[in-house]
Chain A
């Protein structure tokens, strides 16, 4: 990941924060706005970071994964369902139910990773088609179960959406969070674990035997096979690990961000995560930095809501959700055009290995 790229990322984030400061600076102190923007950025970048890490594990092992969106959607649903089930039906208290929900989401992600591995490694299905299958399957299953479990007569919850056990509480890091401007250090557990996982993934990929083998399988599977690495097993393991990380990303939507499930609620975040992975050149820190750009674009939309009165009348239409909402998608397309330099995928990415 070259410095030009990091410079571009920093510039875009600065511009996005600058826009909010320009709009709301007269009303609220700029420092408060900047800190609020940064805190929101880190928080909403969480599923993008985790999705991108999922992509890194899969693609470093040579398996293209465009099913991240579906993996996160399915995990969001089943994590939420498990949390509610344990809380409402079994009477477990809120925090343990939420933790069970997170575990269920990770398991769901792992299972969807297993499905992707079966399709792409064992049956050698075109991997982009395989990912699309997972996306469509996730939309179908979550839509059906959401209707069947919560809105049909005779369902276990009596035909109505039960009270959710809330969302995961914020960490209060001593000292740091006591600083007056330090809302950025008050994050929820999945957001924190995403950052930890960036560090862990970097370490695993570049300082551990596992990472060396994974990269070998993704760059030159035949050479890896020759020296005794089981290509299929490495690919299975990495795609399942990736799926579990995407599952944690799915848990963000229903257990950390909002305490409810909506059909299609991942809203393209899985695909944006892929773009972050590509722009980050398949590197954990690069992917995280790129995810923060998209986080900032979304934070712009959220923070502009607070200053809607300050926006001049002729610009008011920009503030409407479906106009500001375009920014992340346009950014994705912009950075994928390669105007900030080309990136290089793993050499055997997307190619099934035939012995």
Chain B
């Protein structure tokens, strides 16, 4: 069908535009999904007795209106990029990792422990060039373990990763509560909150520009995005992940060990989610506090789908979600619309991205690309 459309197009169409066509097509439906969700969000704001235009202007100003706003949008987007990549990578491997939340929490706990306790345990002062990689690496390791367990359960025993990763979110939440209220609680006399002590200066990742909170973790997120793209597209491992995801039988015939690939995919996914938690601790909060991450894991699912599981798409979707979360505070300040309306709009975006047939029907956009294979049923 696509060939006939291209043949019918006049020959004067510039080659550049023709080259861009697939790219335009790829972003068209997500953009329309965002637009539709914002329109419905406006209706909700009206129903809540607010002015949608004023609210959205506040949202925009809060997200992009000044250098500080831009910096904060980047700060918000950083964990979204890591966690979104985690979910997207798993999707590429035909796995649905709903457990980014728990992997992120453990990544944060591990990084925090290395950050505040390791120098005392070892009895040495660590220079930043060693301490920062150790803390971040510990977070990656914790995320890897927490991600690999459901992968192993699926590969060896057929336990479905969707339920197992969700269960492990709750287990991680319980264990984190236990640690932050008990052994790892900040012992300073005035503290009543479930949080760790502050990490050592030597474990802290610095801001990019002085006076702004935007930190090198954001730059790292962009680099990691490139690495994930490279691994998926240019390496044997990436080929194995994608083949096992798209067609496990074909992968088996091609000599790929599907169980091993499942474990590796979930482990790498966990590494990325753990990185999200570790960077939040080492570059932003300088400690882990209970409840700081509630929702990142679920937002990451929406981001991965909005970005069509493409690493670059994940970055764009993360910037959008980061901008919305960041701008929401100013919106609430200006128009008294509670920030929670953003959660509804983001859920609607997810709805329209998932059910792109609705968007195609509303705007009469023809389906051209092949459908993404995301997950399979209980299978067993």
Residues of A within 8 A of B (CB): 64, 66, 119, 123-130, 132-133, 135-137, 139-141, 143-144, 147-148, 152-154, 267-268, 271-272, 274-275, 278, 317, 320, 322-323, 325-326, 329-330, 332-333, 336-339, 342-345, 349-351
Find the A residue at minimum CB distance from B177: A322
> Is the CB–CB distance between B159 and A338 below 8 Å?
yes
Q: Does B351 sit at the interface, judged by CB under 8 A?
A: yes
Find the B residue at minimum CB distance from A115: B351
Residues of B within 8 A of A329 (CB): 167-168, 170-171, 174
Which chain B residues (327-380) contact chain A, with CB distance < 8 Å?
Answer: 336, 338, 340-341, 343-344, 346-348, 350-351, 354-355, 357-358, 374-380
Given A132-B301, A136-B298, does the pair A126, B354 have CB atoms closer than 8 Å?
yes
- Shortest Cβ distance from residue A129 to the other chain B in the assembled complex, whole angstroms: 5
Q: Does B48 sit at the interface, judged by CB under 8 A?
A: yes
Q: How large is the interface on B (under 10, 10 to 19, 20 to 34, 35 or more residues)?
A: 35 or more
Residues of A within 8 A of B65 (CB): none
Q: Does B162 sit at the interface, judged by CB under 8 A?
A: yes
Find the B residue at minimum CB distance from A263: B340
State which of A330, A337, A350 has its C-beta within 8 Å of the C-beta of B153. A337
> Is the CB–CB distance between A137 and B48 below 8 Å?
no
Residues of B within 8 A of A130 (CB): 354-355
Given A126-B354, A147-B338, A326-B171, does the pair A333, B159 have CB atoms closer than 8 Å?
yes
Which chain B residues (57-102) contact chain A, with CB distance < 8 Å?
Answer: 96, 98
B49, B163, B164, B341: residue with the most chain A Cβ atoms closer than 10 Å: B163
> Is the CB–CB distance between A129 and B340 below 8 Å?
no
- Shortest Cβ distance from residue B298 to the other chain A in the assembled complex, whole angstroms: 5
Find the A residue at minimum CB distance from B352: A133
> Is the CB–CB distance between A128 and B157 below 8 Å?
no
Main secondary structure on A side of the interface with B = helix
> Is the CB–CB distance between B163 and A323 below 8 Å?
no
Residues of B within 8 A of A (CB): 44, 48-49, 96, 98, 153, 157-160, 162-164, 166-171, 173-175, 177-178, 181-182, 295, 298, 301-302, 305, 336, 338, 340-341, 343-344, 346-348, 350-351, 354-355, 357-358, 374-380
- Shortest Cβ distance from residue A289 to the other chain B in the assembled complex, whole angstroms: 18
A267, A317, A333: residue with the most chain B Cβ atoms closer than 10 Å: A333
- Shortest Cβ distance from residue B51 to the other chain A in the assembled complex, whole angstroms: 15
**Assembly CA distance A118 to B21 (angstroms):** 31
Residues of B within 8 A of A124 (CB): 357
- Shortest Cβ distance from residue A236 to the other chain B in the assembled complex, whole angstroms: 16
> Is the CB–CB distance between A136 and B347 below 8 Å?
yes
- Shortest Cβ distance from residue A350 to the other chain B in the assembled complex, whole angstroms: 3
Given A129-B374, A129-B375, does the pair A343, B305 have CB atoms closer than 8 Å?
no
State which of B162, B167, B175, B181 has its C-beta within 8 Å of the C-beta of A128. B162
Find the A residue at minimum CB distance from B182: A317
Find the B residue at minimum CB distance from A270: B166
Residues of A within 8 A of B181 (CB): 322
> Is the CB–CB distance between A139 and B298 below 8 Å?
yes
**Assembly CA distance A141 to B160 (angstroms):** 28
Given A140-B343, A147-B338, A322-B177, does the pair A345, B171 have CB atoms closer than 8 Å?
no
**Assembly CA distance A345 to B375 (angstroms):** 16
CB pairs A–B below 8 angstroms (21 shown): A123-B358, A128-B377, A129-B375, A132-B301, A132-B350, A133-B347, A133-B354, A136-B302, A144-B44, A144-B343, A148-B48, A153-B336, A322-B174, A326-B175, A329-B167, A329-B168, A333-B167, A336-B153, A343-B380, A349-B378, A350-B378
> Is the CB–CB distance between B343 and A139 below 8 Å?
yes
**Assembly CA distance A87 to B26 (angstroms):** 51
Residues of B within 8 A of A317 (CB): 178, 182
- Shortest Cβ distance from residue A299 to the other chain B in the assembled complex, whole angstroms: 18
